[in-house]
Chains A and B, each alone.
Chain A
Amino acid sequence: MAHEAAHDHHDEHHDHHEHQSFFQRWVMSTNHKDIGTLYLVFSLLMFFIGGSFAMVIRAELFKPGMQLVQPYFFNEMTTMHALVMIFGAVMPAFVGLGNWMIPMMVGAPDMALPRMNNLSFWILPFAFALLLSTLFLPGGGPAGGWTMYPPLSLQSASLAYVVFAVHLMGISSIMGAINIIATILNMRAPGMDLLKMPVFVWSWLITAFLLIAVMPVLAGAVTMLLTDKYFNTHFFDAAGGGDPVLFQHVFWFFGHPEVYIMILPAFGIISEIIPTFSRKPIFGYKAMVFAIASIAFLSFIVWAHHMFAVGLPLGAEIFFMYATMLIAVPTGVKVFNWVATMWGGSMTFETPMLFAVAFVILFTIGGFSGLMLALVPADFQYHDTYFVVAHFHYVLVTGAIFAIMAATYYWIPKWTGHMYSEFWGKVHFWNSVIWVNVLFFPQHFLGLAGMPRRIPDYNVAFANFNMISSIGGFLFGASQLIFLGVIIHCVWFSKKKATDRVWEGAKGLEWTLSSPPPHHSFTIAPVIHDDELAHGHVED
């Protein structure tokens, strides 16, 4: 296999690594761990920038009346919050985790395409510089929502910036996805069969295919916006024979798989953490993999459930309702399997496990509201209200972001060689889990009472729950500073050395490496012992 060659290359490269300058190490890196770190640091930065936009939103919504910002700026904040959090925080975080862990989990020395790996990261800072710069330009940032529905988005002066930023993000994501697929399919150590791979690797393999399938669709959709605005095409202009609804179909054909791009790797992470801290193999490994694949497939045929209120024909509403409801089955299987993994285990509750348990409960609550939203007549009430805001924040914040935090606590001892502070990790967890519910749970009630999304001001009937939600928001935001503190402490100040295995119940190749791992993970393909793998004996 290619490992011999990689081994030779490593010796040569490793010497260079020893006397690399800061610039060489971080900017010119081709190392999967360094690039993974870059992705994670970038994601954390974007998490705080996107979070600060959310603080502006919650501050303005603290009480009825306009106190802080003009409505247009409020719309810029909602739009930028979404774009930054989706494309800047959640997606790069998963790519960073994949970069770090996939080669180590499959027994490879590095990613398959290390130079492309560098490029796919370094595109991102430029993409976000372009996007965020619009806030300082005349005409302001995009304010038509992250969904960029025309004709409204065509009124924005910064459309071209947004379109090119999205193009860059798309190129970055596609290259990242190609790299992950190439690594998983080509770089596995002998004996690491596909059905012995960790669920996290499986989830990323499937996610990478989703990315390759849908990012070009988004690129096409936003390019049509660009030509509509600047070159007088009429793709989405009814007056020229176009159709504004066409954009929504194309956008959500990207957008729904995108939703799963942000949750499938989270499923993978949780499927690693729960078995480790239950000291018991994951329940129904094959069912877990198959469920992820089913959800990925279904994600392509449910897009119009974002568009139930555009006036779809009855047949389409029924089809998309049934297809959407079907997703509850594989998702249910996953949740039941996580609970069954815990059942009969020998559990401890370190910070990663706490986040994983919170993920299962709170993501499931987001799934419940998702099921309610799938029912078209009920959706006609919920649609575009705060009920939807509550729904997708439950799946994205207490889903995706909690999984990212769980993963950080789970793997940071491996990455740095130091243990984080378990006390402060738990302080971060309990603050996050309490305030995030104070933040988002009341938004269900606001939506049910009829408060629309994306409004900067509201009737006094909505005042109570908005104030509670804002208080939760401020405290949830502040709690994340604890997270930052725990990370900084762990990386630079922690005295407590991590063992190679780190966690008593941890299984898999990544735990056979030293903490921190060598510069090139497996320079010689490891010999696989099935009982050392989390999923080495698959008979189900």
Chain B
Amino acid sequence: MISGGIKPKGSKGIVRALGVGALSLIGMGLFGSTVLANPEPGQLNLTPGVTTYSNVPYMLNNVALGVCVVIGILVFGAMFIAMFRFRKSRGAVAEKWAHNTTVEIIWTVIPIIILITLAWLATDGLRQFSDTTGAQMTVKVTGYQWKWRYDYVDYQGKAISNVGFLSKLDDQSNATRQLNSGLDPYAVKVGDENVYLLNVDKPLVVPVDTKIRFVITADDVIHSWFIPALGWKMDAIPGVVNATWTNIKVPGVYRGQCAELCGQDHGFMPIVVKAVSKEDFAKWLADQQKPATPAAPAPASTAAAPAQATAQVAPAHGAQG
């Protein structure tokens, strides 16, 4: 189980206890934002996200929604006026006309103009999205039934070897989600944040302010790699390698889920990305590249994982940041 979440602004240097006997060392003043990034109860709209691109779908959504609401008010408004005014019970007598070229031209042309505007905005956003060039880092994402594998391919022009791991549903969520487990989904928490079904044993750790290219594929069936805070999803298809990118501006832990039906545990293969500062990422990467020794932090945290199944509150992987 990974620790943290987005910390309130100014939590610098505070070491937070995230559970019984578990300490978190992350959130060292690095997570300086309260951006709505992960699903919130009662959330009504898209997240604006946390990347250089994620505002594009957010704004496009807002503009399109606004256009739809205005058209809806006009059309439904006209309809309700008609239903009120032209009732037989109010003595309305039906007129005979069934045609009016002028209004027909108007209500064909105006939607076309609106559509051209929306298409222009969307095309512009799409061009930004499709530009995967100039990435400073590459991560290969592979979907499996029912977990993800992340392989770090290169970073700042240097190839990375031997940094790759599987990432699957955390043990506490997994125990809770069993049929009639008797466990409370509301009790699956990291800090104050409920992470039921949105937490993994090992998150994908990436640096902020870095254009990261993802190459996404799958090993068995089709999956889809989706984190709302990044602003997109991309299908992971066996035999196909899809490329896409992100550039996260705000450090934090961003959660998502597989978005393409992939079998019985489709709902149980979340995606967690932990964005850290470049310095912390360099440290983390160096740790990962060290030959595994018992004292190394990464194996230690892996070893902690099985214990979580019984632990009421799971210990955090404190040393990853």
Contact = CB atoms under 8 A, between A and B. Distances in A.
A56 interface: no
A138 interface: no
B44 A65 contact: no
B309 interface: no
A343 to B, nearest CB: 5
A348 interface: yes
B127 to A, nearest CB: 7
Contacts of A149: 221-222, 260-261
From B45, B47, B111, B195, name the one whose CB has the most chain A CB atoms within 10 angstroms: B111
Given A70-B179, A151-B238, A245-B240, A332 B122 contact: no
B197 interface: yes
Q: Across chains A and B, which 8 residue pairs bring their CB atoms closest together, nearest first?
A: A238-B239, A455-B267, A540-B99, A311-B242, A450-B228, A377-B125, A368-B68, A380-B232
A452 interface: yes
Contacts of A454: 261, 266-267
Contacts of B93: 346
A376 B243 CA distance: 16
B115 A66 contact: no
Interface in A303-325: 309-311, 314, 317-318, 321-322, 325
Contacts of B94: 278-280, 344-346, 505
Contact of B259 (A326, A452, A505): A452
A459 B197 contact: yes
19 contacts: A64-B186, A66-B180, A72-B264, A149-B261, A244-B222, A329-B111, A342-B86, A344-B95, A346-B94, A348-B89, A376-B129, A377-B232, A384-B260, A448-B61, A449-B39, A454-B266, A459-B185, A459-B196, A461-B39
Interface stretch (A85-93, A357-365, A494-502): A357-365
A291 to B, nearest CB: 10
A357 B79 contact: yes
Interface in B10-62: 38-47, 56-57, 60-61
A482 B60 CA distance: 42
Contacts of A70: 179, 264
Contacts of B125: 376-377
Given A454-B261, A459-B39, A368 B72 contact: yes
Nearest to B125: A377
From B83, B176, B185, B267, name the one whose CB has the most chain A CB atoms within 10 angstroms: B267
Interface of A: 64-72, 75, 143-145, 149, 151-152, 155, 237-239, 242-245, 278-285, 287, 309-311, 314, 317-318, 321-322, 325-326, 328-329, 332-333, 335-336, 339-349, 357, 360-361, 364-365, 368-369, 371-372, 375-378, 380-381, 383-385, 445, 448-465, 505, 539-540
Given A339-B82, A347-B83, A452-B267, A329 B108 contact: yes
A459 to B, nearest CB: 5
B311 interface: no
Given A143-B264, A245-B240, A461-B39, A375 B60 contact: yes
B43 A449 contact: yes
A534 B11 CA distance: 72
Contacts of B234: 309, 311, 380
Contact of B61 (A238, A314, A372): A372
Nearest to A79: B261
A377 B228 contact: no
A399 to B, nearest CB: 16
Contacts of A67: 179-180
B240 A460 contact: no
Contacts of A342: 79, 82-83, 86
A26 B38 CA distance: 57
A383 B233 contact: yes
A357 B84 CA distance: 13
Nearest to A335: B75
A336 B76 CA distance: 10
B306 interface: no
A340 B96 CA distance: 12
Contacts of B96: 280-281
Contacts of B40: 449, 461
Interface residues of B, number: 103
Given A285-B98, A329-B111, A347-B88, A238 B240 contact: yes
A281 B261 contact: no
Contacts of B186: 64, 460
A311 B261 CA distance: 17
Contacts of B9: none
From B46, B68, B99, name the one whose CB has the most chain A CB atoms within 10 angstroms: B99
Contact of A448 (B43, B83, B180, B195): B43
A471 to B, nearest CB: 16
Contact of A284 (B45, B104, B118, B177): B104
Given A239-B239, A345-B94, A376-B129, 10 more contacts: A68-B179, A155-B221, A243-B240, A287-B104, A309-B233, A347-B88, A375-B121, A380-B129, A384-B260, A457-B267
Contacts of A336: 75, 103-104, 107
Contacts of B126: 314, 317-318, 321, 376-377
From A342, A459, A505, name the one whose CB has the most chain B CB atoms within 10 angstroms: A459
B170 to A, nearest CB: 12
B267 A311 contact: no
Nearest to A240: B239
Nearest to B53: A377
A279 B68 CA distance: 30
Contacts of B56: 377
A75 B177 contact: no
A244 B197 contact: no
Contacts of A279: 88, 94
Contacts of B220: 151
B83 A328 contact: no
Contacts of A458: 197, 267
A283 B179 CA distance: 56
B78 interface: yes
Given A155-B221, A283-B98, A455-B257, A333 B104 contact: yes
Given A244-B239, A309-B234, A314-B126, A152 B196 contact: no
B240 A244 contact: yes
Contacts of A459: 39, 185, 194-198
Contacts of B121: 375
A244 B41 contact: no
Contacts of B237: 238, 244-245, 310-311
A155 B263 contact: yes
Given A339-B82, A361-B76, A461 B43 contact: yes
Contacts of B303: none
Contacts of B300: none
Contacts of A71: 264-268
B228 A280 contact: no
Given A342-B83, A384-B259, A455-B257, A445 B239 contact: no
Nearest to B81: A343
A72 B265 CA distance: 8
From B176, B184, B221, B261, name the one whose CB has the most chain A CB atoms within 10 angstroms: B261
Nearest to A504: B88
